[in-house]
């Protein structure tokens, strides 16, 4: 790994991987839904959309084709702590990839007509999410679990804000946060480090630094009572979910909780971009054996993401046909109470430690995934954190896992949610 910083503040990370003639370029910005206040929730995600709509030197209808002509792929996403863009293609397309990201950083257009047309697209996207029971339940539960911290806002925003935001709101947000000294450029692949740095300087060196906006520092007050969300909407499947306040990635309790989740629901890894591409090993997980194998749920899973500030640990279940939400809730909470009281075993710790080490390999198994992990961890702390995950995992003790179970899996620390499908007398969804 090579790290350097341009005079304008742009952090550049380069790692040579010569296994295939490919290169992956990711440009990361420390801006996400946590940086939004009342009236502009969803602005970071909307800005991400606008930054595919053309720049001073790239017509809007050519943005996608520049990489596709090299047989490559491109994308981007926004979440609570970050916004990022990527291109992966043959290594001879490196200049094109750098050119796109330099243009995106400094020269996006924000034509008023494009802003308005994208408003319709994003509102449609939000409404589509509202029609997904699991996504809607997640949104409502996150907003209920957090009372003060901006993590409570959905990344896509609230509908009222999406209807009233202006082009000036979007462009102002873009210019505040899309500056080189608020960005990390990651290049991984079949490249030469010195050559990459020369090319990066040529593409980005002339972009003026800015003064990044101060990030929110709200501290979420401790939760003192169980909270509940009960959604009743048309549907055919019932869903159950529990969300517990969880530590940030830098907290000493994060890895013990990651181990606990692996014991309860299966080892999921730490790559939120492509973690779902490799099935989670669940057959030996406690909740899979006691909930899924027992026929109460057709699926069960856990979610614990590395974040810059304390977020949530969630357990989700899809209720099996013919079973009830109450039965699933009782069974899951009984298992959580059991592990909080009696702890886990040394054999369970040894098993999931091996599973998680394997997951970490999958998390960085391609040039695209490796570049993602380096940039992602740079936005929530340090890029070096990615290289230290095995050491932190190996340092987890049985006492630490049991202490986290007892502290985290309590009624006062949780928000429970259910999606109850509504049906008519004829059995049809209403």
Please state, in angstroms and rounded to a whole number, the distance separating the CA atoms of residues 313 and 399: 20
* 356 part of a folded domain: yes
DSSP code for 429? B
6: left (phi over 0), alpha (psi -120 to 50) or beta: beta
316 bridge partner residues: 241, 301
CB atoms within 10 A of CB 236: 11
Query: How does pLDDT run across 317-370, given as a tens digit for each residue?
Result: 999 999 999 999 999 999 999 999 999 999 999 999 999 999 999 999 999 999
Length of the chain, in residues? 430
Tokens of 343: 């702890």
Which single residue is written with the structure tokens 């990361």? 28
DSSP string, 349-414: HHHHHHHHHHHHHHHT-SHHHHHHHHHHHHHHS-THHHHTHHHHHHT--HHHHHHHHHHHS-GGGE
Instruction: Say if residues 281 and 318 touch (Cβ distance below 8 Å).
Output: no
Tell me the pLDDT band of 53, cut-offs 50, 70 and 90: very high
Instruction: Say if residues 369 and 273 touch (Cβ distance below 8 Å).
Output: yes
Q: What are phi and psi of 344, to 5 degrees?
A: -115, 175
* Burial (CB count <10 Å: 0-12, 13-18, 19+), residue 45: buried
Taking alpha carbons only, the member of 25, 27, 20, 200 closest to residue 108 is 27
Query: How does pLDDT run across 261-274, given as a tens digit for each residue?
Result: 999 999 999 999 98
* 212 part of a folded domain: no
* 297 part of a folded domain: yes
* 219 part of a folded domain: no
DSSP string, 69-114: TTT-EEEEEE-SS-EEEEEEEEGGGHHHHHHHHHHHHH-B---HHH
Strand bridging mode 414-422 / 227-234: parallel
Q: What is the pLDDT of residue 65?
A: 84
> Is the same domain home to 141 and 176?
yes
**Considering 204, 238, 266, which residue would you say is the last residue of a domain?**
204
> Is the same domain home to 197 and 256?
no
Q: What range defines the domain where residue 389 resides? A: 227-422
* 221 part of a folded domain: no
Please state, in angstroms and rounded to a whole number, the distance separating the CA atoms of residues 111 and 231: 39
> Is the same domain home to 200 and 336?
no
Q: Mention every residue, 6+ apart, whose C-beta is less than 8 A from residue 35.
A: 44, 150, 177, 213, 215, 216
pLDDT(67) > 70 = yes
pLDDT(428) > 60 = no
How many angstroms from the chain centroid is the CA of residue 258? 16
Tokens of 390: 């095995």
Query: How does pLDDT run across 283-292, given as a tens digit for each residue?
Result: 999 999 999 9
CA distances from 263 to 289, 337, 346 (A): 11, 14, 11
Q: What is the pLDDT of residue 430?
A: 43
Tokens of 133: 């029971």
> Is the same domain home to 200 and 273?
no
> Is the same domain home to 248 and 377?
yes
CB atoms within 10 A of CB 8: 16
Query: How does pLDDT run across 236-258, given as a tens digit for each residue?
Result: 999 999 999 999 999 999 999 99
Structural domain count of the chain: 2
> Is the same domain home to 237 and 131?
no
Give 217 or 42, the one with higher predicted confidence: 42
Instruction: Say if residues 222 and 211 touch (Cβ distance below 8 Å).
Output: no
Tell me the pLDDT band of 63, cut-offs 50, 70 and 90: confident
CATH number at residue 237: 3.30.830.10
Cα torsion angle, 304, 398, 250, 393, sign: negative
**Considering 151, 169, 204, which residue would you say is the last residue of a domain?**
204
> Is the same domain home to 169 and 293?
no
Please state, in angstroms and rounded to a whole number, the distance separating the CA atoms of residues 157 and 175: 20
* 61 part of a folded domain: yes
Please state, in angstroms and rounded to a whole number, the distance separating the CA atoms of residues 85 and 100: 10
pLDDT(136) > 50 = yes
Instruction: Say if residues 2 and 15 touch (Cβ distance below 8 Å).
Output: yes
> Is the same domain home to 175 and 243?
no
> Is the same domain home to 145 and 244?
no
Q: What are phi and psi of 96, to 5 degrees?
A: -65, -40
Tell me the pLDDT band of 427, cut-offs 50, 70 and 90: low
> Is the same domain home to 194 and 89?
yes
> Is the same domain home to 145 and 256?
no
Across 66-75, 216-225, 296-305, which has the greatest mean pLDDT? 296-305
Between the CA atoms of 231, 233, 238 and 240, what dihedral angle is there, to the nearest 10 degrees?
-20
pLDDT(425) > 70 = no
Please state, in angstroms and rounded to a whole number, the distance separating the CA atoms of residues 96 and 87: 10
Q: What is the pLDDT of residue 213?
A: 75
Between the CA atoms of 419, 424, 428 and 430, what dihedral angle is there, to the nearest 10 degrees?
-60
Query: How does pLDDT run across 102-125, given as a tens digit for each residue?
Result: 999 999 999 999 999 999 999 999
Tell me the pLDDT band of 61, cut-offs 50, 70 and 90: confident
**Considering 204, 237, 254, which residue would you say is the last residue of a domain?**
204
Please state, in angstroms and rounded to a whole number, the distance separating the CA atoms of residues 282 and 268: 9
* 214 part of a folded domain: no
Instruction: Say if residues 409 and 339 touch (Cβ distance below 8 Å).
Output: yes
* 217 part of a folded domain: no
Instruction: Say if residues 248 and 309 touch (Cβ distance below 8 Å).
Output: yes
Q: What is the pLDDT of residue 344?
A: 98
> Is the same domain home to 185 and 316?
no
Q: What is the gyration radius of the CA atoms in the chain, in angstroms?
A: 23
């Amino acid at each position: 790994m090579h790290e350097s910083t341009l005079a304008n503040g742009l952090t550049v990370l380069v790692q040579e991987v010569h296994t295939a003639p490919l290169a992956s370029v990711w440009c990361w910005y420390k801006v996400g839904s946590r940086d939004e206040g009342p009236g502009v929730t969803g602005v970071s995600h909307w800005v991400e959309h606008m930054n595919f709509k053309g720049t001073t030197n790239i017509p809007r209808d050519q943005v996608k084709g520049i990489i596709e002509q090299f047989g490559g792929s491109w994308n981007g996403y926004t979440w609570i702590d970050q916004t990022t863009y990527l291109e992966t293609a043959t290594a001879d397309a490196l200049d094109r990839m750098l050119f796109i990201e330099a243009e995106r950083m400094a020269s996006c257009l924000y034509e008023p007509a494009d802003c308005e047309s994208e408003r319709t697209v994003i509102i449609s996207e939000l409404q589509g999410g509202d029609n997904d029971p699991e996504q809607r339940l997640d949104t409502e539960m996150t907003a209920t679990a957090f009372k003060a911290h901006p993590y409570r806002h959905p990344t896509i925003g609230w509908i009222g804000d999406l209807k009233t935001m202006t082009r000036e709101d979007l462009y102002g947000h873009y210019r505040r946060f899309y500056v080189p000294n608020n960005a990390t450029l990651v290049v991984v692949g079949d490249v030469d480090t010195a050559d990459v740095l020369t090319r990066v300087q040529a593409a980005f060196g002339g972009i003026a630094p800015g003064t990044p906006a101060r990030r929110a520092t709200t501290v979420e007050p401790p939760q003192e009572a169980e909270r509940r969300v009960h959604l009743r909407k048309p549907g055919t499947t019932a869903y159950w979910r529990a969300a517990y306040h969880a530590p940030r990635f830098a907290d000493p309790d994060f890895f013990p909780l990651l181990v606990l989740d692996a014991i309860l629901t299966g080892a999921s890894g730490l790559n939120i971009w492509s973690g779902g591409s490799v099935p989670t090993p669940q057959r030996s997980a406690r909740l899979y054996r006691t909930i899924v194998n027992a026929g109460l749920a057709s699926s069960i899973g856990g979610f614990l993401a590395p974040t810059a500030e304390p977020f949530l640990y969630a357990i989700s279940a899809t209720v099996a046909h013919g079973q009830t939400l109450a039965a699933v809730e009782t069974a899951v909470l009984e298992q959580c109470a059991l592990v909080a009281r009696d702890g886990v075993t040394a054999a369970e710790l040894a098993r999931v430690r091996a599973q998680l080490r394997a997951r970490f390999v999958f998390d960085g198994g391609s040039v695209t995934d490796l570049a993602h992990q380096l940039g992602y961890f740079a936005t929530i702390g340090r890029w070096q954190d990615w290289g230290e995950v095995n050491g932190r995992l190996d340092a987890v003790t049985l006492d630490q896992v049991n202490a986290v179970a007892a502290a985290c899996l309590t009624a006062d620390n949780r928000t429970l949610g259910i999606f109850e499908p509504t049906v008519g007398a004829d059995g049809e969804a209403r």
